Amino acid sequence: MKIISIKDAEKNRKELEISIDKASFDEAVTAAFRKKAPTIAVPGFRKGKAPRNIVEKMYGKGYFYEDALNNLVPKAYEEALKESELDVVSYPEYDIKSIDENGVVFTAKVYVKPEGTIKDYKGLEAEQTEVVVSDEQVNEEVERARKNNAREVEITDRAAKSGDKVNIDYDGYQDGKRFDGGKAEGQDLVLGSNTFIPGFEDQIAGHNVGDEFDVNVTFPKEYHEKTLAGKEAVFKCKLNAIKFDELPELDDEFAKDVSEFDTLEEYKNDVKAKLVKAEEDRQKSVVEGQLMTKLVDNFTCDVPEPMIDDEVEQSIKSYENNLYYQGIDLNTFLKYTKQTMDDLKKNFRPQSEKNVRIRLALEAVAAKEKIEVKPEDVEEEYKRIADAYKMDVEKVKELVTEKQITADVKVSKAMDFVRENAKIKVVTLEERKAEAEAKAKEAEKTAKTEKKTTAKKTTEKKTETAETETKAKTTTKKTTTKKTEKSE
């Protein structure tokens, strides 16, 4: 392999002209013949036994060229790419220029990473809300832990009430006839959860285990089954069991059971610290989102379409994985939402383009600030990824190259630099509340104005219509009068 030339094809696109020596090409053609020979039938020879010169005479000398080139060209391109050190962002577009006694000459057109211009990346302004975690929030989190560690107790000495988990059989009738989907046995239901039709759960409360009774309901007018919407129905029910979640006592023993701490106070302090950390991380993301939007606004670059296409594909893969973990297949999701893959790509494209521009802008910042990545930074990132995916570090190194990790760490460091040099205003909760109230008042005022404008236009239209009708009547009257006079 030899690079003959590298030249500009168009903006952000290069054309590599590459040669492959004749010996390598001849060897590839011979290998293609040996691979294909067993399938070739030539009259006068057993299948797969015809000599190469006879096959080439029958099918043409270039019969094996395509297979040979499919094997040789990509390898030659990869070698040329390493030698050229081009930062390529697309698959190559090949074109065979010549095949002769000197070998093969072909071109490969590729898009390369663009160079953009970044300005005003220091002192960018952003806002975040002050981080405050109340005792109420801590208590809510502790209460969730209590519910998660509740003990289910079966009730036999009292009637069912709101908050109980009951097990029932039911059979639904409408106008004395059973209807589809109205029957179930051994159905669990938490009373007060409003899971069933309005009024259903209230009529179970007050009954004891073993009771058989009727529940009378009226289906909502907007009920999904149109044949039942707004109709009255009777469910014949049997109460099989009543259970209740008994919460553990809120004491030091509870803290020991659910955490590594010995006292309830220590456990609550830890819960608060975690809530504070979570809110700080959330506010950090909010700030970074604002900064990245402004950074992109200050970044000028012609982004090649293949870069955006690739980001769209990566986004869809990530989305597909998220659906998979929820037990949903992508094709099923598309069918359910009445979308096509093209629709999905179109929806992802704006954010994908922004993601590409953000990364390019951060790379430009890293270049301007001469940000460097140390070997220990790379090792730390490998370890972080391994911990996140519960993999062995060496396995991660097999899957992700050091070059990729270095590039990612450099971008991360550039983001840290932008944030550290930003002007971040901390807004209090009281200020946020006042902002929300002001926006609500403004929205209400706008709505009233729009209502008045609509009413005015309606009145004007009615007036205009009335005037038109009056004119029409006058014209008709005059016409009738003239006809009468003429007749006389």
Quick one: pLDDT band at residue 479, thresholds 50, 70, 90? Answer: low
* Local structure of residue 39 (DSSP, 8 states): G
Indicate the residue among 52, 82, 111 that finishes a domain.
Answer: 111
Residue 485 has pLDDT above 80, yes or no: no
- Its sign, for the CA torsion 300, 306, 309, 315, is negative
Pair 274, 259: CB distance under 8 Å: no
Indicate the residue among 191, 221, 246 that finishes a domain.
Answer: 246
Q: Kindly state whether residues 29 and 96 are assigned to the same domain.
A: yes
Closest CA to 138 of 246, 245, 247, 255: 255
pLDDT of residue 422: 97
Which residue range forms the structural domain that includes residue 231?
151-246
User: Mean pLDDT across the stretch 449-454?
Assistant: 81
Exposure string over 386-399, b if 16+ CB within 10 A, otherwise e: beeeeeeeeebbee
Dihedrals phi, psi of 175, to nearest 5 degrees: 55, 40
pLDDT of residue 470: 67
- CATH code of the domain covering residue 73: 3.30.70.1050
Dihedrals phi, psi of 111, to nearest 5 degrees: -85, 140
Indicate the residue among 111, 140, 174 that finishes a domain.
Answer: 111
Q: Kindly state whether residues 107 and 155 are assigned to the same domain.
A: no
Residue 486 has pLDDT above 70, yes or no: no
Q: Kindly state whether residues 104 and 156 are assigned to the same domain.
A: no
Q: Kindly state whether residues 102 and 13 are assigned to the same domain.
A: yes
Average per-residue pLDDT in the chain?
A: 91
- Tell me whether residue 444 is in a domain: no
CA separation for the pair 292, 361 (Å, rounded)? 9
- Tell me whether residue 30 is in a domain: yes
- Tell me whether residue 335 is in a domain: no
- Tell me whether residue 88 is in a domain: yes
CA separation for the pair 40, 53 (Å, rounded)? 13
- CATH code of the domain covering residue 155: 3.10.50.40
Closest CA to 245 of 344, 368, 163, 301: 163
Dihedrals phi, psi of 258, to nearest 5 degrees: -105, -5
**Residue scoring higher pLDDT (383 or 460):** 383
- Tell me whether residue 446 is in a domain: no
Would strands 423-427 and 125-129 be described as parallel, antiparallel, or unpaired?
parallel
Amino acid found at 142: V
Residue 375 has pLDDT above 80, yes or no: yes
Q: Kindly state whether residues 15 and 107 are assigned to the same domain.
A: yes
Quick one: pLDDT band at residue 461, thresholds 50, 70, 90? Answer: confident
Q: Kindly state whether residues 105 and 180 are assigned to the same domain.
A: no
CA separation for the pair 92, 392 (Å, rounded)? 34
Helix (H, G, I), strand (E, B) or coil at 448: helix
User: Mean pLDDT across the stretch 416-432?
Assistant: 94
- Tell me whether residue 360 is in a domain: no
Residue 487 has pLDDT above 60, yes or no: no
Pair 459, 452: CB distance under 8 Å: no
User: Mean pLDDT across the stretch 190-208?
Assistant: 93
- Tell me whether residue 300 is in a domain: no
User: Mean pLDDT across the stretch 416-442?
Assistant: 93
pLDDT of residue 482: 55
Q: Kindly state whether residues 239 and 172 are assigned to the same domain.
A: yes
- Counting Cβ atoms within 10 Å, is residue 248 exposed (0-12), middle (13-18) or buried (19+)? middle
pLDDT of residue 457: 76
CA separation for the pair 173, 236 (Å, rounded)? 8
**Each residue's pLDDT tens digit, 121-168:** 999 999 999 999 999 999 999 999 999 999 999 999 999 999 999 999
Dihedrals phi, psi of 189, to nearest 5 degrees: -155, 130
**Which three-class secondary structure string do you get for 299-332?**
EECCCCHHHHHHHHHHHHHHHHHHHHHCCCCHHH
pLDDT of residue 61: 84
**Each residue's pLDDT tens digit, 20-46:** 999 999 999 999 999 988 988 888 888
Instruction: Domain count for the chain, please give it.
Output: 2
- Tell me whether residue 220 is in a domain: yes
